[in-house]
Every structure is written in structure tokens, then in C-alpha cells.
Structure 1
Amino acid sequence: MPGQGVYAQLRVVDLTRGVAGGITTMLLADAGAEVIRIDLPGDPFAGLSGYRVWHRGKRRATLDPVSDVDEIRALIATADVLVETFEEAPSGLDAVSLAALNPRLVHCSITGYGDAAAHRGRPAVDSLVAARTGLHWEARGVPGTTIGALSGRVDPLADLETGPVTAVGPDRAGPMFTGIPWASNAAAYLATIAVAGALRAREVCGRGQHVATSLVQGVLCSTAIAWQRAEDPDSESYLGWTTDPRAPKGFYRASDGRWIQQWVQLPSFMLGVSEGDELAVPHRGGVSPKDADLRIATDYTDMVLLHHFHPQMEAAAARFPAADWERVAAEAGVPFEIVRPPEEALLDPALLDDGCVVELPDPDHGAIRAVGSVLHLADCPAPIGTGTVPPGTDTAWVREQASREPEPAPAGTEPVAPLAGVRVLDLGLAIAGPYGAQLLADLGADVIKVNALHDDFWMRTQYSHMSNRGKRSLAIDLKDPRGLAVFYDLVRGADVVHHNMRYGAAKRLKIDFESLREINPRLVYCHTRGYEHGARDAKPANDQTAAALAGTEWVDGAADNGGTPIWPSISLGDTGNGLLSAIAVLQALYHRDRTGRGQFVDTSILYAHLLNASMAWTTPGGAARGDRPVVDADSWGISPLHRIYPAREGWLCLAVLTDDDRQRLAKAVPAAAGATGEALAETLTAAFAADTAEAWGKTLDAHGVPAEVCANAPGTVLFDDPGLKDSGLISAYRHPVTGDMEMAGRLMDFAGSRVPGRPPLIGEHTREILTELGLGDVDVDALLEAGVVRDGAA
């Protein structure tokens, strides 16, 4: 129903603890579902600032899954969706029992490690999963890149920088703690996709299913750009410098002390506009991305150029205030933003006008600002207007609901892959667009990558390898009327068109929604952008500039405590936009299954980063704000009890979140008993320095203290685990150019899930796809000869 959201008729039961479950069920509530949250006793995450945001629009009851199991089961019997985070389900709440109770139930489990057998049973805490898997290392990366390390590559730039000092993070050796819970955020995106996919499958077959994801799958999702193993990492254009910590990431301090972000660094701009006493675009031009005389590509060896020009660009930035840089960058059309904390983003009137920031009633503060709508379905708008109520507010109502007799649910037929039989046309560029379409391929869709004729460079890169797997490629000139006619023929039989080019360019090519809807009224058209709707809509944007605008770079860089903002390669900006787009497409297909109508949907990189920083909230005037995690200046952690510690050899990560945990720690480290604050940190630092991390890990495990020994490198713990390869969590394939490849594989578990195949070569399936359209060999040959299409078959 218009104005109520696509899931207005659905009931969701939320039995989760922590970040991932809270965000997943918030997104379902934002889509109109009735979400009933059961606050569970002993929740170690109950104090998170994000709970005031993530539980908005939900009814809240306090029940015990053991003593109140009958009431909870009765409630689940009336539900469409259950989301839970049980590492071991209580009796009667396991997947088999619940499927028998309610065959139409879509049951989603979010765990720490899923079916990663070697890691199962370890604490399901974001920071500890990050420590165990090496995600804390990837926050800054390793010299030579993790791809180089995993691939056994000899680094030709090994002498470019020596010692522990890096351009990313604090001036010290070792892994670094991030303020954004990247693994949990990724798991939330994945769980929401899994639920949306299972709901769509239920529309087709009538039956629910058990779906799942985990924090370790969230790690694999968030590291997709940086964690790959290639037989030939030196193949042409494959390896980039963007994940190498020796490469400055475009942060400069302006004369007023504010940090600015210009990405990808453009020396022609930074040096060209700052030649005089005032910042100005020179009359000769040559400073925009389109006409720059001096630019730095992302190819690995271009890191030498970056190092050469970085000191000059740094000096130029320091001569002028941030606002002046912002003005001249907008004039030149250069991707640029001032880095700001997330609370400043929430006070931005443009974001409030767009709806990606929303003002909600609050029982303690009157009103708060928080992340708002992060995906739009044109035909199913769902205004967010209800805040978060205290735990237990609706306990009596929930018990009454549980006493009602549910209607019998027909069992239906066995579900298949959520997008089996669905065809997607992917016109995406770079990462955000293609990654979203790749997720649709993972769900069973036939995804046709519609390449421009000269996409060779980008299709060879590591960024293409992680965002184009499992697709077929058609290389075609859409500016040629004959090419456009072929594309229109594809549209007639397609279900989804997905892209992230500027919408004005789509209009000029006549592939905008309005044009394609005339050809296929059932089409779901997904457009992903950089920023919000409004004045910034036309600005060039990317993962890095949107992260600056939304505040994630500020949080991860410990800028609250004087640290330097960072853009970690685990950032879910481009990929987060793609993840949101997959959710939007699945919701629109669910709506189409019910109504027969296609629609326009859209998301953005900025929306993803606002969601990534959604633990932040502030009052409308900025007088009060949420107590979000704040990392110390050296990026050890957020408190003496939740941080990384150096041991005599290696590093440890603690996550002591409850009073019981603290008592266990006091038994494991008696000197820490009674100490608080800085004294506690000093005591623990001295204690852990007396022995190895491995030895301390055994001691802490024996006392039941939530802790992990930090992996000694990023990725190896997972990529060298044969069980993960056997289960498909790590995908392996042979590529015609880069040889044997390994990278993130199965990110979600659902009926019909599959391990994605390799990315295509440009134009590899051109003849095959044109033949499916009914063109004969003579017609295809004529198009090839005329240069309208390109055949790149391996």
C-alpha cells in the first residue's frame, strides 16, 4: 500500500543481540514491517549507542528464551520473519522445530563463524572476529598489499618505504582497532539480502526457509577489494596501490586545521589551483578529471608518482582554509569533501531534506537525529517517523499476541534460488554498480554485464575481479543506433536494469527509466548514486568522499582524539551501496510479484556510509549526542577492557563487556583486580608484555575471558583454511589472465545458494547472448564488422 512500505503486511520477530541483528531488523521496519523486538536478558551489547537508533519503529518486549519459550514460539507461529543471533539455539527455537511450527517462516540466523568449522565456538564479538581473521591489520593494510602477500609476490617497490611508520593510522607497528564495526555492518547487509531473497522465493513457492550469514562472512564481504590470491598478480592492470598503507589516501590538513579529502589524488588540481595567493581555477584549465595534464592512476606502480607529488599537494593544502578548497573543487568538478564527524553530518540540513537523515521522537531527549531512509522504492515509500521505546514497553501486548491462535499455513513447495529465472542487465561502472549486480548473480540471477567496447583496463583490475563474478559479458556501443536497438531487445526480456552512471548520461543514451519503462512496464530499474538528492546530486563522488561527508573516516581515524582520518580498504561505501541496491531490487521484485508492476529504485554511497556510522545520533541542536565508540589516538581501542594490547610477541584483543567478564579477567590477571581507567590499561599492558600473545590467549580462554590472539597477517587465517575452501566460503577458480584465483565466496546461506564463478572477459559472451536474442551468425558478424559489438570469447 502506498506510504506504508513494501513489507507493510509482514510481521518480524527480532531475537537478536548486537549490531548486525539490530540493523537488519531496523531495515525491515523501515520497509514497513511490524517488528517485535524481544530484548533478551544479559545482552552484553545493551549499552551500545546504536540501540537508540536501530530499534526505532519496533515494539519491545522483555522475555526469556528459556522460561518464556512457549510465548516466543506462539509469537513466531504468527510471524513471517524471525531474525536471531543464537550461537546455540535454546530448546524449541532451533531451525528444525520452527520450520515444523511455521512452514512459511523465513528464519534468519546471524552467528559469529557460521559453518567455518575451525573457528566455530569462538566469541561472536565484532572486534574479536576482526582480530582472529586479520581484519584489524587490513584497517591500514600491509606494504606490498595483502594480495601481494597472499600471492607470494616479490614487491618491486619494496624499498619505497621502510620501518613501521605508515601513511595510514598511528605512528606505531601492529594492527589497529577501528571505530566502525565493519564485520557486523557487512553481516547486517547480507542478512537483510538473505531475508529479502527468501521472502521473494516464498512468493514463488509458498514456503519459507532457513537462511544464514555470519560475522566471518561479513569479514569476507568487507575485504573483497583487498583479499584476493592470484597466480599472476603482476598481470596487466590487475594490482592497484589503493590498499597499500604506504600510499597516502588523499587526506590533507587545510590552513584552518580541518581535514580535507581529495580522491583519487589529482596533482594537476591541487597544484594548479593553488599557484597564486588565492585558490582559483586557472583560465587555461587542465585541473579537472576530464582535462588534467597530470594525474595518478590506480595501477600499483603509480604509487611512485603519488609519493613524489604528495608533499607538494600537502604543502598546497596547508595554505588555504577547507571551505575555499571545497568551493574551488566544486567549480573544477573534482571529487572532494571536508572530513567531518558523523554528528556534523546528522546536522546537515541537506541530508535532513533528503530523508537519509531523520528526526525522531525520543523519550529521553525529546527528539534525536539519526540515519534515515537508505534506499528508495518509488512506488512504496515508507516514511520513518517512530522512535525507539524503552525495553519492556510492549511486553503485555506481546504476551497477548502470543496467546492468539495462528492461522494454518500451507507448506508450499521446496524453495529454489531467490532469483532463479530472473535476468539482470548490468551497466555499472567501477565498483558500486557492478558489485550490487554481482550479489544478484549470487542469488541465482542471469546477469549480463553490458560493457562499453573499451572497458579493457577496468575489467582487468582487482576491483573488477571482486565485483563481476558469475556474470556474462556483452560488449556493445550504445551510442550507435544499432547497438541501442540490440539493448532494447534485451530490455524486453529483462527483469532488472542496474547501473551507477550519472542519470543525465543515462538520459542522453536513452536508457533512463522513463525510456525503458515504455519498452517493458514490468522492469525494475535500479540507479545507484554518490550522494543524496539535492544540490550535491551532480557532484562527482566516490567511496572516499562520501565517507568523509558521512563521518566514517573520522571515526576510524580516531579524529575525536586528534588522530588522522583514514579510509580503510574494508570500507563499505562502494560495496555498501551495492549491498543496499541488492536489497532494493529484491524488495521491488517482491512488490512486482504481488502487483505486476515494475518501479524505479535508488541508493547511494553516502546512504551506505550513514548506515555504517549509524551508531551515532545527536539532538537537533547538537547539545547531546550518543556515546558512540571513540578510539584512542593510537588506535588501540575504545576502553581499557575493549582494545588491542601488544604482548611480548604478537598482539591480543580483549572484549570484556560485562561484569561477569570483568570478574573472569581479574582471576586471569590478578593485578588488574580493582584497577580502572588509565591505571587498568597500564596494568594490563605490563602484564601482557610479560609473555607471548599465544600463551596469554590460552590463559584467557581457560578463564572464559572474551579475547583473541590477533592474526599475524591479514587474510591468511581464512585463505589457508582448507575447510573454508571446501565449504565455498573461499571461492577458487581459474581465470584466463590472472590464472588460479581465490577470493570471497559464499556470503549467505539459502536454498539454491551457489559459489560464484569467475568474472568474464570483456565481450566474452557477446555472440552467445546475441544468438539467444534470435540473431543469426550473419547478423552477428555484421555487427562485429561494423564495430557495434565486440567478441572477446576466451
Structure 2
Amino acid sequence: MTGRTAKKEGREMFQKGVLAGRRVIELGSMIAAPFGTHILAELGAEVIKIEPPEGETTRHLVRGGPSGTFIAYNRGKKSLCLNLQAEDGQEAFRRLVAGADVVLHNLSPGAARKLGVTYETCSALNPKIVFCHIRGYGVGPMQEEIASNPVAEAATGVMYSNRVNGRPSRLGPSYLDQFAGCYAAIAVLAALLDEGGAAAQRNIEFGLYETGLHIAARDLVGVQLKSQLLGRAETEPSPEFAMPGYGAYETREGRWIYIVMLTDEHWRRFCRAVEVEAAADLATLRDRRRNRDRVEALVRDAVSRWDYDGLSKAMGAAGVGHTEVLSADRVLQAPQACDPRKFSEVPFSVYSFQSPDFPVPSCRDASPVGPPPLLGEQTRDVLAMLGYGSEQIEAMIIAGAAATPQAGKPLWAKATGGDLS
């Protein structure tokens, strides 16, 4: 089967993901938990996102409305808007847990206990539940503390080496949040595969801090290596700083090309591609490091004499690893992104978005992707599925224990001159 459908017994069938039929409850905010359940949804699970009456944080980050984070990582989910501080809201939550396969959240430890979103509470309702809590910190002296992505970057060494004008700064994307979501999905899948395993395997708790430690393992081990070889702590430089000629360079018409220059063979291929002499005294990486300024000047000058398209063709023919440095508005226009298409069309409000898909198509649900839900869009349907009658549901909404979308309310404040910042 290729594309999105297969023929079976004369009927056109949509491919279903490996988690089809599984129900996941998400109590998530910002990125870590929503990203983890986004992956599970892409694999075919039904994700019911429980939101408080004011909605999840990323619903309100851009002109009072949903951000790119919300649209990208909450598409196709169902929104059940409950007040978990009300007894009726708690009762609905308990009913939902009783029939679910997974609960995944990133509430603070204190909030989780206050709202009853703990493994002990959920497993008492459903002994087979897979429970996953992404915390700020795992077990240890800081386990009750709150940590966000940049806090984890700062605590695990990432931020120290990433500086803007000399000031330690966070990376652009929230990579540790997203890695934590990936780890959560992996752990949930492992628990679902071993349904007869020990209860401890179904109680998954880990921190953004521990995620950051694991991601930083190469650098943390590298500094130990330098300490033992050189007798002093020395942070491993990034490849850009360690390898002359490795990085981004500007072409004649002002486009940027990123060149990978790791080996002596790469250097020889580059010289051949840009038609410059491969000087004998720059033949080895050690030679080029000793003459860093000269190499950098040579590469900058050589690249600046070419237009991007001609240079890309020459480098491709010579076997030099490279790509154009693209702005975000151009990424999904690239041929590799479009053929076959690596993203889905996601309608939302009066707009339409293109959102990249889970990158392993053989595992994911290839059914048409639904839009992100409005706040409480599936509240009535989910409560009815849990056995509530229409009068009970209406009473819960009137009492504030549950909520449905506000009819006619715009998602974003009207932009002036197209500005949604």
C-alpha cells in the first residue's frame, strides 16, 4: 500500500494506525504532553483532551487565540471541557478513566494530586490503565519543583554553550519538551505491548530534566573525555566551530547554503566542486584547523562567486553534503516535502494550515486528518458516550462542571495589517 488507501475486496479502505481502537486521555498544556498524545493520535489512537473551562494555555497565545503549537499538535483530538474541581467534573473524569487505555499528562505534581490525576487514583478505577506523567523533575530532591523547557536546558548544560551576544540563551524550538513527548509515546507503547507486565511498568513518570540529561549525554561524556585526556574540563565545540568550512555561507545572490565538511575527502570534493585548488598545506583536518581563518576566508570567497542553484548542482555532482538554509515560510514548498506530500491539510476556523505528519507512514493512521477541536467541541458527545443523559449534560453545563464552545466567538482578535504576532 502506498499513498493513503488500499484496495481490499473491491472496496477502498483507509489505512488505520497501529493504535486504532485505543483510547488516550490527555490532560496537557503547552508542548510535552500534547506532543506525546499527538504522536499516539498519529498512530491511530483516539485522544480525548480534557481541558479546564478557560482552555489549555496554547489556545490563547496568539492575539488571544490558538498558536501554531496548538494547531500542529492537537489536530484530530477531541476536546472535553471539564471543571475537575467540581464533583460532577470529577465523576465524569472517573467514568472516562474506567474505559480508557492511557492517561497522559504534564500537570505539576501538586496540581495532579489536587485533581486526583495520579496513578493510584486511576489504577484503582482501571487496573490496566497505562499512566504517564511528564514532570519537571523525576525522583530526587527537586521532584516537587516545576521546570519548563528552558529551565531544563539551563540545568543540563545546553544553554551554557548556546549564547547570543555572550548571554546564555535558550534554543529556538522547545526540543526537550518534544523529546519528552517522544519518550512518553515510546514508554506508553512498551507498556501496551506488555499487557501482562508488572504494574510498575504501567506507572510511567519522568522529568524534563532527566530528558535533558539523556539528550546531552554525548556532550556530558565528551567533557569528561577531555578532562581525562587533557587534565582540564573543556566543553566539546559544535561541529561548526571544530571543523573549518563546516557551516552556512552566503551565495552571490544572497541565499545561504549549509555545507557539511567533516573529512579530508569532503574537503577535496568541495574544492573540486567550486573549482579551487586543493592546497597541499590544507590537506588534513589538522592542517585546516591550524589555518582556520584562511580556510574560512577561502570557503566564503568561493561560495560568494556562485549563484545558489549552480553551486548546489556542482556540489551534488561532487558528492558534497549541503542544503539551502530555508526560512519557515518556504520549508513546505520544497520538492522533498511535497513529493510525496509529508504534511496534511488542516482546516481550522476560516483558515487552512499545512501541518507535517508523523514521519513513519507505515505506522500512522492515514485517514483524513481532522482539525484541532474547539474548546469543549466534543463535550456533549463524550459525556453521552459515558452514559449521561441530555438533561444531566445540560445541568452540568449550567453548573459550570462542563462547557461547550461559545457560538460565534472568533478564535483570534482581528489582525491589523495581517499582524497576528
User: In structure 1, which of residues 710, 734, 739 is the aligned counterpart of residue 325 of structure 2?
Assistant: 710
Q: Give the conservation status (yes or no) of the 8 Å contact 2:29–2:57.
A: no
User: Residue 733 of structure 1 aligns to a residue in which SS?
Assistant: strand
In structure 2, do the counterparts of structure 1 residues 458 and 477 end up closer, same or farther at CA, with 3 Å as the change threshold? same
Q: Which residue of 1 aligns with 2:144?
A: 538
Q: Retained in 2: the 8 A contact 1:572–1:608?
A: no
CA contact (8 A) 1:694 1:709 kept: no
| Cα displacement (A) at 1:629 | 5.5
Please show how residues 381-460 of structure 1 align to structure 2 within 5 Å.
417-455=17-55, 458-459=58-59, 460=65
Select 2:305's aligned residue among 660, 674, 690.
Answer: 690
**Where does residue 248 of structure 1 map in the other structure?**
none
Question: Aligned equivalents of 1:683 and 1:497: distance in 2?
Answer: 56
Which whole-Å deviations, capped at 9, do the CAs of 1:220-274 have from their partners, x for residues lacking one?
xxxxxxxxxxxxxxxxxxxxxxxxxxxxxxxxxxxxxxxxxxxxxxxxxxxxxxx
- 1-structure distance, mates of 2:344, 2:114: 39
Corresponding position: 1:746 with 2:358: yes
Q: Name the CA distance, whole Å, in 1 between partners of 2:57 and 2:113.
A: 25
Give the direction of change, closer, same or farther, for the CA distance of 1:745–1:655 in structure 2 (3 Å limit): same
Closer/same/farther in 2, CA of residues 622 and 439 from structure 1, 3 Å limit = same
Aligned equivalents of 1:551 and 1:672: distance in 2?
38
What does residue 214 of structure 2 align with? 611
Report the CA distance shift for 1:421/1:728 in structure 2 as closer, same or farther (over 3 A).
farther
CA deviation vs aligned residue, 1:694-747 (integer Å, no higher than 9, x gap): 332233223222233433x2340x3224774574522212112x6212222233
Q: Is 1:680 paired with 2:287?
A: no
**Secondary structure of 1:448's match?**
strand
Q: Amino acid of the residue matched to residue 659 of structure 1?
A: D
Cα offset for 1:651?
2.3
CA offsets, 1:142-180, max 9 Å, x none? Answer: xxxxxxxxxxxxxxxxxxxxxxxxxxxxxxxxxxxxxxx
The 1:593/1:444 distance shift into structure 2, 3 A limit, reads farther
* Change beyond 3 A, Cα 1:457–1:601: closer
Give, in angstroms, the shift of residue 789 of structure 1. Answer: 0.7
SS in structure 1 opposite 2:248? strand
Equivalent AA in structure 2 for residue 554 of structure 1: Y
SS of 1:732 mapped into structure 2: strand
User: Aligned match of 1:497 in 103, 112, 119?
Assistant: 103
1:427, distance to aligned residue in structure 2 (A): 0.8
CA distance in 2, matches of 1:621, 1:789: 58
Give the match's secondary structure for 2:217: coil
Match of 1:522 in 2: 128
Q: How do 1:11-160 and structure 2 match up within 5 A?
A: none
In structure 2, what is the Cα distance between the partners aligned to 1:434 and 1:553? 24
- Secondary structure of the equivalent of 1:525? strand
Does the CA contact (< 8 Å) of 2:81 and 2:402 recur in 1? yes
Structure 2 partner of 1:555: 161
* 1:663 has 2:268 as partner: yes
Matching residue's letter, 1:786:
A
- Contiguous gaps of at least 5 residues in structure 1: 1-95, 97-114, 116-414
**Partner Cα separation in structure 1 for residue 163 and residue 226 of structure 2:** 25
CA contact (8 A) 1:647 1:691 kept: yes
Q: 1:456 offset after TM fit, Å?
A: 6.4
Unaligned regions of 5+ residues in structure 2, if any? Answer: 4-14, 60-64, 283-287, 408-421
2:196 counterpart of 1:582: no
- Whether contact under 8 Å (1:572, 1:612) holds in the other structure is no
Q: SS in structure 2 opposite 1:573? A: helix
Which structure exhibits the higher relative contact order, with contacts defined as CA atoms closer than 8 Å and separated by 6 or more residues?
2
| Residue 774 (structure 1) shift | 1.6
Name the amino acid aligned to 1:763: G
Matches within 5 A, 1:30-429: 417-429=17-29
**Change over 3 Å in CA distance of 1:685–1:629 after alignment to 2:** farther
Distance 1:654 1:417, change over 3 A: same
Checking the alignment, whether the CA contact within 8 Å between 2:25 and 2:49 is kept in structure 1 is yes
Could you tell me which of 230, 233, 237 is aligned with 1:630? Answer: 237
- Separation in 2 of the partners of 1:751 and 1:637? 38
CA shift digits 1:447-470 (9 cap, x unpaired):
100111111663233132222222
TM-score, normalised to structure 1, is 0.44
- Check 1:741–1:673 CA distance in 2 against 1; reply closer, same or farther (3 A cut): same
Q: Partner of 1:771 in structure 2? A: 384
Whole-Å separation in 2 of the counterparts to 1:658 and 1:478: 58
Bigger share in helix:
2
Q: 1:423, 1:446 within 8 Å by CA — same for their partners in 2?
A: yes
**Whole-angstrom CA distance in 2 between matches of 1:659 and 1:568:** 31
Structure 1 pair 685–458 and aligned structure 2 pair: CA distance change class (3 A): closer
CA 1:613/1:448 → structure 2, altered by over 3 Å: closer, same or farther? same
Where does residue 172 of structure 2 map in the other structure?
569
Q: Cα–Cα, structure 1 residues 594 and 519, in superposed 2: closer, same or farther, change >3 Å? A: same
Contact 1:731–1:746 at 8 Å: present in 2 too? no
> For 1:680 and 1:482, how far apart are their aligned partners in 2?
69
Q: After superposition, what is the alpha-carbon deviation per residue over 1:557-581, rounded to whole angstroms, capped at 9, x for unaligned?
A: 38xxx84433232341211111111
Please say if 1:699 is aligned against 2:314: yes
SS of the counterpart of 2:44?
A: coil
Amino acid at match of 2:38: Q
Amino acid at match of 1:734: P
Name the counterpart of 1:276.
none
- How far residue 603 of structure 1 moved from its aligned partner, in angstroms, is 2.6
| CA separation of 1:646 and 1:725: change in aligned 2, threshold 3 A | closer
Residue 119 of structure 1 aligns with which residue? none
Which residue in 2 is equivalent to 1:639? Answer: 243
- Per the alignment, do residues 707 and 509 of structure 1 end up closer, same or farther by CA in structure 2, a change over 3 Å counting? closer
Q: Give the partner amino acid of 2:105.
A: H
**C-alpha offsets along residues 387-407 of structure 1, whole Å, 9 cap, x if unaligned?**
xxxxxxxxxxxxxxxxxxxxx
8 Å CA contact 2:82, 2:402 repeated in 1: yes
SS at match of 1:475: strand
Deviations 1:280-306 (A, max 9, x none): xxxxxxxxxxxxxxxxxxxxxxxxxxx
Structure 1 residue 654 displacement after superposition: 1.8
- Residue 620 of structure 1 and its aligned partner are, at CA, apart by 9.2
Deviation at 1:594, TM superposition (A): 5.8
What is the DSSP-based 3-state SS (H/G/I as helix, E as strand, rest coil) of the residue aligned with 2:362?
Answer: coil
Check 1:597–1:708 CA distance in 2 against 1; reply closer, same or farther (3 A cut).
closer
Cα distance in structure 2, aligned partners of 1:532 and 1:735: 36
- Residue 703 and residue 722 in structure 1: after superposition, are their counterparts in 2 closer, same or farther (change >3 A)? closer
Aligned-partner residue type, residue 237 of structure 2: V
SS in structure 2 at match of 1:592: coil
- Corresponding residue for residue 652 of structure 1: 257
What is the SS of the residue equivalent to 2:346? strand
Look up the SS of the partner of 1:653 in the other structure: strand
The 2-side partners of 1:464 and 1:647 are apart by: 36
One-letter amino acid of the structure 2 residue matched with residue 429 of structure 1: S
AA at the equivalent of 1:611: H
1:779 Cα offset (Å): 1.5
Amino acid of the residue matched to residue 767 of structure 1? R
TM-aligned CA deviation for residue 612 of structure 1: 2.9
Q: Counterpart amino acid of 2:113? A: K
Deviation at 1:549, TM superposition (A): 1.0
Kept in 1: contact 2:108–2:136 (CA 8 A):
no
Paired AA for residue 525 in structure 1 = F
Are the aligned partners of 1:483 and 1:788 in contact in 2 as well (CA < 8 Å)? Answer: yes
User: Residue in 1 aligned with 2:403?
Assistant: 790
- Residues 613/595 of structure 1: CA separation in 2 closer, same or farther (3 Å cut): closer
